[in-house]
Structure 1
Amino acid sequence: MRHRAEILHPSKNRDISTSTLPKWPTVRQQFKQLLVILMLVFFLVNELLQRYITSL
């Protein structure tokens, strides 16, 4: 049982490290994309509001 646990633990740790490490940059990329999209939406809404106000 001890040997099995010792053999399994490093593989589990490796799986956890490999699964968590690549996720962070992708999450950051998604966050950056979200920020960019939010900025674009904000500018578009701002433009539309300005046009709407000027048309009034």
Structure 2
Amino acid sequence: MIGTALIVGAGPMLSTLLAKFLIKEGMDVVLAARDTQKRSSICKEIGAEAV
């Protein structure tokens, strides 16, 4: 593992692409968003778990 990235204000475009890239590079990714539905859909798209 390289490390952990925190993406604050996660949205459906840039944040999603960044998360996918960082995961490919071996990083753990944490997404923070006020809108839990957006966060859940991003997690579903990148194959992650929303908690």
TM-score, length of structure 1 as denominator length: 0.26
Larger Rg: 1
TM-score, length of structure 2 as denominator length: 0.29
User: Per residue, is there more strand in 1 or in 2?
Assistant: 2
User: Per residue, is there more helix in 1 or in 2?
Assistant: 1
